Structure 1
Amino acid sequence: MLAEIRQLRRLLNRLIVPRSLFWRSLLIIVVPLLILQIILTFVFYNRHWDTVTRWLAFGVAGEVAMLAEMIENAPDATERQALIEHASRNTDLTITLVPGGRLEDAVAAADINPNVGHIDNKILESFAERLHYPFAVDLETEDPDRATVFVQIAPGLLEVVVARKRLTSTTAWLLFSWMVGGSVVLSAISIYFLRLQVRPIRQLAKAADSFGKGRDVGDFRLRGAAEIRQAAHAFNLMRHRILRHISQRTEMLAAVSHDLRTPLTRMKLELELMGTGDDPVLAGLKQDVEEMSKLVEVYLDFARGEGRESVEPTDLGPILESMRQRAERSGATLEIMLDRPIVMPLRPTAFHRCLSNLVDNACRYGRWIGISVRQKEDMVEIAVEDDGPGIPEAWREKVLEPFVRLDEKAGEGTGLGLTIARDVVLAHGGDLKLSRSRKGGLKAILRMPG
């Protein structure tokens, strides 16, 4: 039960709470504003507007009741007309007396709708409270600014036309428009300033992502709030430290390369001058020196990584064709599955070394190699598979570590081929995984940003 509740809560969070900082910040501003608008609207419509409407309509209903009573008590028609003219001059009511008129006929002729809204119902309640004569109120006349009150009295039917503003407040929609308009303006200003604050965060994330993929973007310009500037400053310091570390490592490896290659070259030359003949000792020494030279070269390739090579748009087609030629020289068949030309940002030499290591490893253990390339949105997936014996699932992560070998087949191996390949892929911002191929061998899957 608790697990279901947690799952439902996570689902609601995904559906309701936005993922981006911009929309979350906007919600922090907009939601309280909407709540305030709802509260104000509720208070105004159900309290203030109802009260104002009640007292306005109550006053008009009192005037109509007093007028109806005076006209009904007038001794003759002349007196009644004098009262009507006097009331019309001193009020803004338009008063008409229809002798012998009937309320039912007036209601039928005016086609008064009995279903009225909340505010109109408050008006009718006020008239019913003050006016003790049979009456009807037409609130939907042809003139929207007017309303007509029909009152049945003894001399006939009294028709009173009153301005709508005397029955209810007409400034409610003006207040509502100001509320909505003000909210829209404030929201627009909030969105503008939020974009100014979120933009540096997005740019910093983009710079960090590019730098993580091996693309140097230079120092990030400090902008935005103090916290964002602090994060940008930390990013710049981290970038300088990483670049300094890479530079120091490259310089150290250049010195190591020089120090190791020089004595090895001298040893090779001396062994050649001594000649081999049938001396098994010299032959063994010569083989050991050759293996040491290869080991030093492979190790330096692994430690050096991509060096200072820059990223540039590279067509995969020529690189894959060179892999076909490489496999054919080793006596293997390489099949390329590439639907269309793909150009992606690469360090060509480093990526060529990565694929070479994978193809050489496949040639060492199999006779068929397949390379398939698929593009999925902003990622490119490259699969290199063979028909060899493969690698047990328990060892697939272990063999990616340096100097790890499953057996001693092809003794010139050093256990760094897959490690160098993964190092190159990671430096491009991708990942390398091992699995089982469709022919039972090893399948290396490279997922890299396109």
Structure 2
Amino acid sequence: MRSLRQRLLLWQIGALVAAAALEGLITYQLAWDGFNRSRDSVLQSIAYSVVRHGLRPPPGAASPSPPAPTTAPDTPEGPAQDLGHFTTQIWTAQGRLVYSSVVGGGPPLQAPGLNVANWNGEDWRVYTLAERDQIVQVAVTNADRLARFGELLPGLLAPLGVLVLVMWLLMQAAVNKALAPLNAWGRDLRRREGGELHAVGTAALPEELVPLGDALNQLLARVEALLGSQRALLADAAHELNTPLAAVKLQAQLARRSGEATRTAALDELDRGIERATHLVAQLLQMARLEPGVREREPRPLRLDILAAGVVAAFSARADQRGIDLGLAPSDAAWVAGDEEDLRVLLNNLVDNALRHAPHGGRVDVQARTEGGRVRLTVDDNGPGIPEADRERATRRFVRLDGSTAPGSGLGLSIVARVVAQHGGALTLAEREGGGLSVRVELPAAPESR
């Protein structure tokens, strides 16, 4: 059952029925006890009335035979027909029956007070009174008493049934009213267009629903921020792609119109433009793949130093072409828990960024060390570095610092910052000893490294 309304109503009606059943049981028991006390009081009243106004045997007279009953003759159905009447008996002080209102004598003589006796296969409620040299006994069958009580039950339990019905209707109304804000939210959200992500109202909500409303508003705010970020990314990407593509088109036109002497230079410039566009597209794809939900990540323990060695080897040819000394400094067996593809993207962007800014004949060092419960990855270059005031801004998308002459799109450090955040790490940009930039990435160490 997935309906919240049905669950609430089911639990409430279940509790109501259980409470009503318990109340009915208690009411039945109290009413039965009161009815019995009332009927016992009637037995006593009849016994005292018989003592005051009934028959009295003559003193010293022989005990007469039991007088004829005042009721109908005894037949097989006589006692059953007499169930609606009290049975009266008079005994002498010596215990001899002198009068009975039923044929057959009635229940046997009992001790003074209230008793239960069995006669003719039926249980009788008997009150016995010994007074004025005689014993008076008044009795009624338990079956008759139960039948009389059964006639009263509908009047006792009918109000309880009406109460249950009224409570059920009130509960339905209360549940519908309590869930009305959720229905209003649903109608409001269904009417909205795709870009309408403003917060829902929570002022009129019950106290229990305010956290839900706040959580929904936070979600809407995050979705709005994400869509805004995506729109900004598309706008920036279109702007950044426009420049290299325009340059490619221009160089292609120049190459077509140039003579043999200048065509080679134009084609070289065309290659560089294509390379810049290709690099930008590749970084845009990397940025897109880092968005939540784009792909399923598989964090697992891996050696960051081995991964760094593979990236250094992959960039070694490019470093040699530019005359840059690229190498892996002495490193530890640095175990981290992360997604291998994302960490490879991080290393690729750090090394690529360092090679772009390092001068010809410069140096780029990569190192992975384990310090306590953290793994520190460091990529140093002896390029121009980044002024301290611009280091925070340098990790934003499409930010190119003033005075930078190195080709690039301004996405490298932004991609690195995204990967570090997803792995619960920290990114620090610092000045390298001797000049240049030192990029430090700290990640939680995996259990194998401790």
What TM-score range do you get, normalising by the shorter chain? 0.3 to 0.5
Q: Decide which structure has greater helix share.
A: 1
The answer to which structure, 1 or 2, has the higher relative contact order (CA under 8 A, 6+ apart) is 1
Q: TM-score, normalised by structure 2?
A: 0.40
